[in-house]
Structure 1
Amino acid sequence: MENVNVKPATGKLGVLCVGLGAVTSTFIVGTLMARKGLAKPVGSLSQLATMRVGKGKDKQYKKITEVVPLTDLNDVVFGAWDIFADNAYESAIHAEVLKEKDINPVKDELEAIKPMPAVFDQNFVKRLHGTHVKPEASRWDLTEQVREDIRNFKAANNCERVVVIWAASTEVYLPLSDEHMTLASFEKAMKEDNKELIAPSMCYAYAAVAEGCPFIMGAPNLCVDTPAMWELSKKTSTPIAGKDFKTGQTLMKTVLAPMLKTRMLGLDGWFSTNILGNRDGEVLDDPDSFKTKEVSKLSVIETILDGEEHPELYGNIFHKVRINYYPPRNDNKEGWDNLDIFGWMGYPMQIKVDFLCRDSILAAPLLLDLVLFSDLAKRAGRYGIQDWLSFYLKSPMHDFEHKPVHDLFQQFTILKNNLREMGGYEADECVD
């Protein structure tokens, strides 16, 4: 083993969630139940996975918690902001993701998690009407209020460290502008209260990173994916990650598309449609919010199946994505995919996938891993874009000099190699 300077996970870790809806409440309930031994954290690599370290006669398989010093679940303290005043128990009941019998054993702890008023601008999330929001103020003043919230939460809960994670709605599409290109121009826009180009999510991201708290963007919002925020994260030596949790349909794409490429099978078209009935579905029913999500979902296929590298196989793919708001399904999302592929001598074939998934059930373990791994990165002295966390993300952040990796199995190798390095082991490309 090499000597790696990773600070130990001492003291309490505060986890501040932007949004206390279906995803966050499911994440919190599951974590509280898991640490009582009343539920299994299925889907969480940090809690369940083993990985190989060493090669040849030195080869060992260890749990990730044995490879790197992760925060123990008993040391996690939860807080949140939300545009509605419901506490975590009320939110979990209202979301109807989990049964009451799976919520009630931690009812007292959940009722104690009361959200702080949120930064809200209805122009960015047109279908929601927030009632538990901070008073009207400039973007800069709102950001200062969020910074104060973080400091107060940290002190009140005796936390050594804090991680902030966005699990709120998809904002309307916001293109990268000059104001986002440098930290100076970004701060100027905030102080001038530029409500067109500074989204509410940016207030949280700036506040977290300015306070030295890792920030994770779980929606496809532009938010932290700007040179200005990359600059701030380096200035404060703070890790950032994003964007958009990879849960249902896109997870399938990052598995199926590499299969086509590995076997050199061609693709003419990929049609994807979803029905979703929760608050996320309602928000995405607005065309401007859907555009943000569409850009995130469309990038996967084109990146994995490179039409320039293999024009005869992938040079003319027709890729269509649709999301339909359908209240009867609530959080139980259904994603249909139709792939028109072709094989030997150009003969056509089809693949059809019907994934009846539970959105928050798939997302909750991603939040847990992203929070624990971002905290690990901070203690390891890492900062800036944590591209090794792309495994969990639909539209992985990257700077202008690099292309994102979308292939799930390549992402998994990158994830494990970063954990090996932080655990003092040698990174390698050997198949486990």
Structure 2
Amino acid sequence: METAPQHITPATGRLGVLFVGLGAVASTVIAGVELIRQGLAKPVGSLAQMGTIRLGNRTEGRAPLIRDFVPLADLDQLVFGAWDPISDTAYEAALKCGVLDRYAHIEPIAAALKEVEPMPAAFDQNYVRRLEGANVKPTTGKRDLAEALRSDIRDFKAARSCDRIVVILCASTEAFIDPSPAHQSLAAFEAALDADDESVPPSMLYAYAALKEGVAFVNGAPNLTTDVPAMTELAHTAGVPISGKDFKTGQTLVKTVLAPMLKARVLGLSGWYSTNILGNRDGEVLDDPDSFRTKEKTKLGVLEHILQPGRYPELYGDFHHKVRINYYPPRGDNKEGWDNIDIFGWLGYPMQIKVNFLCRDSILAAPLVLDLVLFTDLAQRAGLTGVQEWLSLYFKSPQTAPGVYPEHDLFIQQTKLKNTLRWLMGEEQISHPGMEYHED
């Protein structure tokens, strides 16, 4: 049933994008957007730029592009900034990370990349032990650090004449922390902030600073960050959207496709062993057991949520699920994900599926980041506040509102995203995920 379109403030002026972390992912995003703006590349992998959307039961003509259907900010409106404990510009970061070809994709836009110089970071090596850097703010206390980040946001917005800002965390994985009493309410969090409590990691300082400034925040790392009641409360109080957590790029993306296949065909699962070879900064940080534990938690939860062992004990009640990440410097950003999947079928006979995904980590992450920036800005202009569950498509461990079951099936996630866009524009929603694939 069609409804009236929601009020959406026009995407006028400049949209500031502030990255927490100016490493492989952020520098690849910035370079890619600049190349696309200059007509030197295509936004492959970006649903917001290249995806289409079916409108109701219409059959005439081709389904429109999403960017023609909803009022997204134009790529020419994007202005980039960042924080990072390493002082490299986006140009220097892109060279060091080795994701992009220097002469084909870095040097032609070198001037634009050199303009992005990271602000000093709110960084604490107690939370990311395998990373060092001198471009950090003085450790004068967590409240002072949060206020300094708020000042950075205001200064960037004024200096770059931005009308709106989105902050997106692309930083390294922090050491694992459990939710604590300090995270259960905004008042408790602010008391912990003033007390320099260890339960307040740097990522939460960035989230708090952004939300207090009325700025939307996206968590691309597996850290708790906004996935606690205190931040949800602040997001609603400030009237801004939040989403997370942990970009879904390679191996987990494959799981959210194959697991629904097993469930749809009622095939059993005995075990799923996953291992990764990765050599970039992310791989080095995850070589620390405490940081890996944070990442492991988001990677392990996918199968259980999709397969629902409690409902189908004879098929999925006792499967073994292992995840490993191996730091291997020669591989750089070119991650290799191996999956050995032991399944069983008719009469219990065993079978196997082998997957070897030779992927490029930041190449897969970059279009996700662009989509999240554009869709989050759309949400903010549409007055949507709090957790944006409709953006679950992009995350390994989607944050949901309290008491809401997270959806991990990639195709249901895609339908939910597009249905939200349809709702915003007053169009009829689609009831079955498979219908998304008959758009012409």
8 Å contact kept, 1:52–1:59: no
Match of 2:260 in 1: 258
Q: In structure 1, list runs of 5 or more residues that go unmatched.
A: none
- Local SS of the residue matching 1:17: strand
In structure 1, distance between residues paired with 2:409 and 2:385: 24
- Local SS of the residue matching 2:53: strand
Q: Residue 144 in 1 paired to residue 147 in 2?
A: yes
- Local SS of the residue matching 2:269: strand
- Local SS of the residue matching 1:268: strand
Task: Report how far residue 326 of structure 1 moved.
Answer: 0.3
8 Å contact kept, 1:53–1:59: no
Structure 1, residues 397-417: CA drift from partner, whole Å, max 9, x if none?
023311100000000000100
In structure 1, distance between residues paired with 2:199 and 2:85: 21
Structure 1, residues 130-151: CA drift from partner, whole Å, max 9, x if none?
2100011111110000000000
In structure 2, distance between residues paired with 1:153 and 1:105: 26
Match of 2:109 in 1: 106
- Local SS of the residue matching 1:381: coil
Match of 2:191 in 1: 188
Match of 1:232 in 2: 234
- Local SS of the residue matching 1:350: strand
8 Å contact kept, 2:5–2:424: no
8 Å contact kept, 2:241–2:387: yes
8 Å contact kept, 2:173–2:286: yes
Q: Residue 115 in 1 paired to residue 118 in 2?
A: yes
Question: Which of the residues 15, 19, 28 maps onto 2:17?
Answer: 15
In structure 1, distance between residues paired with 2:424 and 2:86: 39
Match of 1:391 in 2: 393
Moved over 3 A (4+): 56-60
Kindly provide the amino acid, as one letter, of the partner of residue 82 in structure 1: D
Match of 1:312 in 2: 314
8 Å contact kept, 1:296–1:395: yes
Match of 2:175 in 1: 172
Kindly provide the amino acid, as one letter, of the partner of residue 49 in structure 2: Q
Q: Residue 127 in 1 paired to residue 130 in 2?
A: yes
In structure 2, distance between residues paired with 1:57 and 1:218: 37
The normalised TM-score by structure 1 is 0.98
Structure 1, residues 346-379: CA drift from partner, whole Å, max 9, x if none?
0000000000000000000000000000000000
In structure 2, distance between residues paired with 1:398 and 1:365: 22
Question: Which of the residues 196, 205, 209 maps onto 1:207?
Answer: 209
Structure 1, residues 4-53: CA drift from partner, whole Å, max 9, x if none?
20111000000000000001000100011001110111100111111111
Structure 1, residues 194-227: CA drift from partner, whole Å, max 9, x if none?
1x10000000000111111110000100111000
- Local SS of the residue matching 1:53: coil
8 Å contact kept, 2:5–2:423: no
8 Å contact kept, 1:53–1:60: no
- Local SS of the residue matching 1:215: strand
Match of 2:378 in 1: 376
- Local SS of the residue matching 1:207: helix
Match of 1:401 in 2: 403
8 Å contact kept, 2:90–2:114: yes
Task: Report how far residue 59 of structure 1 moved.
Answer: 8.0
Match of 1:88 in 2: 90
Match of 1:46 in 2: 48
| 1:297-336 equivalence runs, <5 A | 297-336=299-338
In structure 2, distance between residues paired with 1:57 and 1:153: 47
Q: In structure 2, list runs of 5 or more residues that go unmatched.
A: none
- Local SS of the residue matching 2:406: coil
Kindly provide the amino acid, as one letter, of the partner of residue 260 in structure 1: L
In structure 1, distance between residues paired with 2:425 and 2:61: 14
Match of 2:32 in 1: 30
- Local SS of the residue matching 1:62: coil
In structure 2, distance between residues paired with 1:57 and 1:278: 47
Match of 2:275 in 1: 273
Task: Report how far residue 54 of structure 1 moved.
Answer: 2.4
In structure 2, distance between residues paired with 1:56 and 1:429: 15
- Local SS of the residue matching 2:355: strand
In structure 1, distance between residues paired with 2:265 and 2:400: 28
Structure 1, residues 301-345: CA drift from partner, whole Å, max 9, x if none?
000011111110000010000000000000000000000000001
Match of 2:81 in 1: 79
Question: Which of the residues 346, 352, 365 maps onto 1:344?
Answer: 346
In structure 2, distance between residues paired with 1:411 and 1:206: 28
Kindly provide the amino acid, as one letter, of the partner of residue 160 in structure 2: N
8 Å contact kept, 1:274–1:323: yes
The farther-off stretch of 397-406 and 290-299 is 397-406
